[in-house]
């Protein structure tokens, strides 16, 4: 008794019964049933080599149970026209096919196990454009490089065979050794659309009815990625982002340090100026209580209070963001110069940039404070020691720096002789804090010229 039986159905294709002795027989559908030309089956037959002939609505299929290979017969192979409804094997081994239109006899032969000719690549089109290839076809095409927009590929292949009775089928794949092969097909063309960037290898091989397959024809190509997806571009972007992050971190750190310096400076100014002044007022007030008949302590208190008010005004002006431009600094400089120098009939000349330019020129709070204190010290020295009748002040913008020049026609002095006061030391300290070149030109009887070049941040 055979190990398995086959049944054909009129609507549901081919079924197989593996265990005919089972109490509850179970029919299964073979995996190859998807490849049948029709699920409408009229008759089944078998030749002496065990190959099964399936008469269905669109011709006859021959199945090799050992390999699962299917071979299709149609009127082109000699079948009578119409639907083949009956088939029968006679005692000589011939297979008879019958339809309403006629009768045909077929003498089966043992399958050839010779390796079929390998397919040749006959045509390669990229985005519809033909690629240079031999007119006879090529077994291998390699190292084709495509641009990022060339994502649609069509490949045509065919095996050279002069045996008209041999029916070849093809299997292909696009990928690597782990990629599965396609199911056998008689189609000789395949298309791929919207391929992703990467390296590809296309393989196609032919197979005969016996399941013997040829060596594959190959086509390897590389689809370049867009510029923004390439490793060198990504590396540059990552580097730029790292640099930007580092600069942002440095900027943030500098801002925090700047705020810390402002807080330290405010604390120092408040402690040194206001603290000392308030202590002096408190002490003078106690003296005034004990010596109420004298007016000098009260006058001293009033004068000291006015000076503290001026100091507090300067501190508030230093940290006020509305004063972060050159125009506000020029206003304070003019006020300081005329308050200190207008006495004793001095002539004062003050030259500065136009208001439109000064309003657009921003200065950091530290720069404003140190520059104003430098200016106050220089003007105070001219008022106290120069005995000058003319004082000229020039402020100008030169490149990316502010140039301050103060000239007087006073008595001057010998710069090689150590000064007894702290005026020169104060000027040098402020110039160092501003990171600004400082020049002093003077000699006895020739007046004094002070130059300071403050770079913009």
pLDDT at 320: 60
With residue 317 as reference, give the H or E element that holds it: helix 296-319
CATH of 321-457, one of 3.40.50.720, 2.60.110.10, 3.30.565.10, 1.10.760.10: 3.30.565.10
Low-confidence ranges of the chain (pLDDT < 70): 1-8, 31-35, 111-114, 162-166, 209-210, 263, 265-284, 286-324, 419-421, 457
Which two structure tokens, joined as six digits, stand for 144?
């084709």
Q: How far is CA 195 from CA 45, 135, 174, in A?
A: 46, 27, 11
Nearest to 156 by CA among 184, 196, 192: 192
Instruction: Give strand pairing partners of 455.
Output: 401
Q: Where are the domains of the chain?
A: 5-106, 119-226, 230-319, 321-457
Nearest to 170 by CA among 180, 160, 182, 178: 182
Topology, domain 119-226: Immunoglobulin-like (2.60.40)
Strand locations in 208-261, DSSP E?
217-223
What is the rounded CA–CA span in Å between residue 331 and residue 319?
Answer: 16
pLDDT at 190: 94
Nearest to 58 by CA among 31, 78, 85: 85
Q: How far is CA 287 from CA 124, 160, 231, 274, in A?
A: 109, 125, 82, 20
Topology, domain 5-106: N-terminal domain of TfIIb (2.20.25)
What is the rounded CA–CA span in Å between residue 333 and residue 379?
Answer: 10
What is the rounded CA–CA span in Å between residue 255 and residue 80?
Answer: 95
Contact 69, 207 (CB under 8 A): yes
Q: How far is CA 302 from CA 272, 277, 316, 334, in A?
A: 19, 11, 21, 25
pLDDT at 238: 92
Compute and round to an integer the Cα radius of gyration of the chain.
52
Residues contacting residue 226 through CB under 8 Å, at least 6 positions apart: 148, 197
Contact 203, 218 (CB under 8 A): yes
Contact 336, 379 (CB under 8 A): yes
What is the rounded CA–CA span in Å between residue 435 and residue 454?
Answer: 7
Contact 189, 198 (CB under 8 A): no
């Amino acid at each position: 008794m055979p190990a398995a039986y086959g049944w054909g159905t009129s609507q549901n294709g081919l079924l197989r019964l593996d265990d005919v002795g089972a109490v509850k027989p179970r029919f299964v559908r073979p995996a190859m049933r998807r490849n049948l030309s029709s699920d409408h089956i009229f008759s089944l037959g078998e030749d002496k080599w065990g190959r099964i002939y399936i008469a269905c609505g669109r011709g006859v299929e021959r199945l090799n149970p050992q390999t699962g290979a299917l071979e299709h017969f149609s009127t082109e192979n000699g079948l009578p026209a119409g639907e083949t409804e009956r088939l029968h094997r006679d005692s000589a081994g011939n297979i008879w096919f019958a339809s309403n239109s006629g009768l045909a006899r077929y003498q089966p032969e043992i399958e050839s196990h010779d390796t079929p000719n390998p397919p040749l690549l006959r045509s390669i089109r990229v985005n519809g454009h033909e690629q240079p290839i031999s007119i006879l076809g090529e077994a291998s095409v390699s190292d084709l490089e495509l641009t990022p927009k060339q994502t649609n590929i069509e490949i045509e292949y065919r095996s050279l065979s002069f045996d008209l009775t041999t029916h070849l089928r093809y299997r292909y794949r696009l990928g690597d050794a782990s990629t599965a092969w396609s199911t056998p097909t008689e189609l000789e063309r395949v298309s791929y659309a919207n391929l992703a960037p990467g390296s590809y290898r296309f393989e196609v091989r032919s197979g005969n009815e016996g399941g013997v397959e040829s060596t594959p024809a190959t086509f390897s190509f590389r689809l370049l990625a867009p510029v923004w997806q390439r490793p060198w571009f990504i590396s540059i972007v990552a580097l730029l982002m790292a640099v930007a992050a580092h600069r942002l971190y440095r900027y943030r750190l500098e801002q925090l340090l700047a705020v810390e310096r402002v807080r330290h400076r405010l604390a120092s100014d408040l402690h040194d100026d206001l603290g000392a002044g308030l202590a002096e007022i408190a002490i003078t007030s106690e003296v005034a209580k004990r010596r109420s008949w004298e007016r000098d302590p009260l006058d001293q208190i009033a004068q000291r209070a006015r000076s503290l008010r001026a100091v507090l005004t300067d501190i508030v002006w230093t940290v006020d963001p509305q004063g972060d431009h050159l125009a506000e600094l020029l206003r304070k400089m003019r006020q300081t110069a005329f308050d200190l120098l207008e006495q004793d009939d001095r002539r004062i000349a003050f030259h500065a940039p136009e208001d439109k330019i000064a309003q657009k020129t921003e200065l950091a709070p530290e720069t404003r404070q140190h520059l104003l204190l430098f200016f106050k010290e220089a003007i105070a020295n001219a008022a106290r020691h120069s005995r000058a009748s003319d004082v000229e002040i020039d402020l100008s913008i030169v490149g990316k720096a502010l140039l301050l020049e103060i000239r007087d026609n006073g008595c001057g002095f010998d710069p090689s002789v150590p000064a007894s006061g702290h005026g020169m030391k104060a000027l040098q300290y402020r110039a160092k804090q501003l990171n600004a070149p400082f020049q002093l030109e003077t000699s006895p009887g020739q007046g004094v010229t002070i130059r300071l070049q403050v770079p913009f941040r």
